[in-house]
Amino acid sequence: MEYVIALLSQQPLMTLFLVVAFGYLLGEVNIKGFSLGAGAVLFVALFVGWLAPKSAPAPLVGTLGLALFLYCVGIQYGKLFFTGLVSPTGRKANLLALIGLIVAGAAALASMNLFGLKPGYVLGVFAGSGTSTPALQAAMSSLGNSDPAVGYSATYPFGVAGPILVMYLAFFLFKPKIEVPKSAALDFMEIAVRNPDLFGKKLGDVLHMLPSQTEIAAVRHEGRNKFPDPALVLGPDDVLMITSATEAGLEEARKIIGEAAPGKIVMDRSALDYFRVFASKRAVVGTALGDLKIPGGFDYQLVQVTRGDSDLLPRRDLILEFGDRVGLLVNRANAQAVRAFFGDSIKGTADLSYISIGLGMALGLLVGLIPLPIPGLGKLTLGFAGLLLTALVLGYFRRSGGLHWTMPLSANLVLRNLGLTIFLAQVGISCGPKFAEALAESGFLLVFDGVLVLMSLVLPVMIIGMVVFKLPFDEVCGVVGGVTGNPAILMYAGKLTGTEKPDVGYAMIFPGATVMKILFVQIAAAIWGG
């Protein structure tokens, strides 16, 4: 054992990655739907830190990891976050989150006097109950010690399990009716023109008669597949290929046009064929579809854009991102020219600009250094909250001149999870000895305080959201996921409701809730941490 301890102490970088590996192994253990996920890294790190106190990597390693995590979160969710601030649903959701955070913060501060706990422990309890790693870092930085890591570690497990239990009980007791989700993929239907009112009409006039979120991808006219020319005059037995974001849209289009005629267009690929290509060239990424001009003088028809797991209608104002897959109809002879124009490289799913990352993160860290005057407290800097706010703004604008701030979702997830994992491992190893001592002294009290703070956070959101605001159950679950912030909670909410609304709520709430948690612990540390 002495040899193992000596080896871990002499090789802190090796120790860090061992902690990551065994932490994720523990995090995959699933007990009736509950698992710690990335949070298990912290517990393995605490054990290793207790076993080999001198094995902790330099603090800068953890700081870098957290900075990557926050920047990637802001870049990905910037658009949805600012949309949520102005939409009626988004304003209600953010108000719910704010109420929950205020109640939880008040409960945390009250417990400091009620239970006689150290300010650092209480701020760690607040961060752990809300599973907020950025708030943990802000608390440790503001107090200048590792006390918050003790409270965080003691309360983190219930911070993950508690919201899941509350959502399950609410679902069991209220039995809410949840609307069947729309498919993330576009639907297609070939429809033969049978409506006599459409005979002799131009295709452009028919398009205006169709429901919204519905497009004409191709036409079979006089026995030949053609592109949807608005000037084309329709006749009996012509066939239209309709694309729609909903099955209802297709059915409504069928009633207007005629009757389904499956296979009439797709079985004949002599004139038109369907291709999907990756958008991987910088010349096309960041460009609106309406501004794309494929050289060569041949005709083509954009049909869909696949981003992540969702299909999008090819609106003229839709801006391409790295890793998008573009579906289009074109003559097979021109397929190579299309691939050359878009790039069509799978590397586009992981391509990102290190120039943009470097400039964006540097700008965010500079914003975090700006001193803000707080009445009665003096000046307070935003710290990592400034980095997150900057990333949200950059994610909203997506590009500035030739700089693309966004990155493919796959690359974003890798950087984000790697950053969070490294931070948890470094902090846990550093705090191991102190954690064991403090937990032996007041461990049960910290856990009880964590339950109190978590219930103060989650219950107001659930009760006010469903009873007062009368929001759908799946939307409220999204707010709960966003205000608590753990991906495991979001994943459970998605499985429980079967819709995408929890994901949308999480995206609208999580960034702002993270900023509020950071500011709360900084202000509380300035007042009570003395």
Of 77-81, 203-207, 217-221, 466-470, which gets the smallest average pLDDT?
A: 77-81
Q: How far apart are alpha carbons 266 and 167 in whole angstroms?
A: 46
Sign of CA dihedral 529, 74, 510, 323: negative
Mean pLDDT of 442-467: 90
* In the predicted structure, residue 183 carries a pLDDT above the cut 60: no
Q: Work out whether strand 258-260 and strand 187-193 pair parallel, antiparallel, or are unpaired.
A: antiparallel
Contact 205, 232 (CB under 8 A): no
Contact 123, 148 (CB under 8 A): yes
Q: What pLDDT, on a 0 to 100 scale, did the predictor assign at position 491?
A: 66
Domain boundary among 312, 329, 349: 349
Q: What pLDDT, on a 0 to 100 scale, did the predictor assign at position 245?
A: 78
What average pLDDT does the structure give for the chain? Answer: 85
Q: How far is CA 156 from the centre of its chain?
A: 21
78-113 per-residue burial string, b: 16 or more CB within 10 A, e: under 16: bbbbbbbeeeebbebbbebbbbbbebbbebbbebbe
Which residue has better confidence, 308 or 251?
Answer: 251
Verify that 462 and 507 share a domain, yes or no.
yes
Enter the pTM of the model: 0.71
Q: What pLDDT, on a 0 to 100 scale, did the predictor assign at position 219?
A: 93
DSSP 199-268: TT-BHHHHHHHSPTTEEEEEEEETTEEE---TTPBP-TT-EEEEEESSHHHHHHHHHHHEEE-TTTTTT-
Give strand pairing partners of 225.
220
* In the predicted structure, residue 456 carries a pLDDT above the cut 90: yes
Mean pLDDT of 24-36: 73
Domain boundary among 349, 367, 396: 349
Q: How far is CA 78 from the centre of its chain?
A: 10
* In the predicted structure, residue 383 carries a pLDDT above the cut 70: yes
Verify that 334 and 420 share a domain, yes or no.
no
Verify that 79 and 125 share a domain, yes or no.
yes
* In the predicted structure, residue 363 carries a pLDDT above the cut 90: yes
Q: How large a percentage of the chain has pLDDT more than 90?
A: 24
* In the predicted structure, residue 181 carries a pLDDT above the cut 60: no
Contact 242, 214 (CB under 8 A): yes
Q: What pLDDT, on a 0 to 100 scale, did the predictor assign at position 107?
A: 95
Q: What pLDDT, on a 0 to 100 scale, did the predictor assign at position 36?
A: 64
Mean pLDDT of 342-362: 83
CATH of the domain at 286: 3.30.70.1450
- At 40-89, the pLDDT tens digits run 787 788 888 888 888 888 888 888 988 898 898 888 888 878 887 888 88
Please report which confidence band the pLDDT of residue 459 belongs to, taking 50, 70 and 90 as the band edges. Answer: very high
Mean pLDDT of 173-194: 77
Mean pLDDT of 499-507: 79
Q: What pLDDT, on a 0 to 100 scale, did the predictor assign at position 171?
A: 87
Verify that 193 and 286 share a domain, yes or no.
yes
Verify that 196 and 168 share a domain, yes or no.
no
Helical (H) or strand (E) element with 310: strand 310-312
Mean pLDDT of 438-447: 74
Nearest CA-CA partner of 501 in 486, 516, 479? 479
Sign of CA dihedral 72, 74, 77, 79: negative
Verify that 300 and 335 share a domain, yes or no.
yes
Which residue has better confidence, 79 or 232?
Answer: 232
Nearest CA-CA partner of 328 in 272, 372, 375, 290? 272
Sign of CA dihedral 266, 268, 272, 276: positive
Nearest CA-CA partner of 284 in 334, 313, 333, 326? 326
- CB-count exposure of residue 358 (10 Å: 0-12, 13-18, 19+): exposed
Q: How far apart are alpha carbons 449 and 454 in whole angstroms?
A: 9
Verify that 288 and 393 share a domain, yes or no.
no
Verify that 168 and 50 share a domain, yes or no.
yes
Q: Following CA atoms 25, 26, 27, 30 in sequence, which dihedral angle do they give, to the nearest 10 degrees?
A: 110
Verify that 381 and 264 share a domain, yes or no.
no
Please report which confidence band the pLDDT of residue 473 belongs to, taking 50, 70 and 90 as the band edges. Answer: very high
Q: What pLDDT, on a 0 to 100 scale, did the predictor assign at position 417?
A: 83
* In the predicted structure, residue 377 carries a pLDDT above the cut 90: no
* In the predicted structure, residue 178 carries a pLDDT above the cut 70: yes
Q: What pLDDT, on a 0 to 100 scale, did the predictor assign at position 357?
A: 92
Q: What pLDDT, on a 0 to 100 scale, did the predictor assign at position 218?
A: 92
And the tokens for 419? 């950053």
Please report which confidence band the pLDDT of residue 463 belongs to, taking 50, 70 and 90 as the band edges. Answer: very high
Verify that 198 and 320 share a domain, yes or no.
yes
| Helical packing angle, 501-528 and 59-86, nearest 10° | 120
* In the predicted structure, residue 499 carries a pLDDT above the cut 60: yes
* In the predicted structure, residue 493 carries a pLDDT above the cut 70: yes
Which residue has better confidence, 245 or 471?
Answer: 471
Q: What pLDDT, on a 0 to 100 scale, did the predictor assign at position 480?
A: 94
Please report which confidence band the pLDDT of residue 14 belongs to, taking 50, 70 and 90 as the band edges. Answer: very high
Which residue has better confidence, 514 or 350?
Answer: 514
- For the chain, the domain total comes to 2
Domain boundary among 349, 381, 406: 349
* In the predicted structure, residue 270 carries a pLDDT above the cut 90: no
Q: What pLDDT, on a 0 to 100 scale, did the predictor assign at position 33?
A: 60
Verify that 321 and 408 share a domain, yes or no.
no
Q: Which domain holds residue 478?
A: 2-179+358-528
User: Cα dist. 303→10, 188, 227, 241, 326 in Å?
Assistant: 58, 10, 11, 10, 8
Verify that 330 and 424 share a domain, yes or no.
no
Of 31-40, 141-150, 379-388, which gets the smallest average pLDDT?
A: 31-40
* In the predicted structure, residue 222 carries a pLDDT above the cut 80: yes
Cβ neighbours of residue 200 under 8 Å, at least 6 residues apart? 233, 234, 235
Q: What pLDDT, on a 0 to 100 scale, did the predictor assign at position 404?
A: 80
Which residue has better confidence, 500 or 467?
Answer: 467
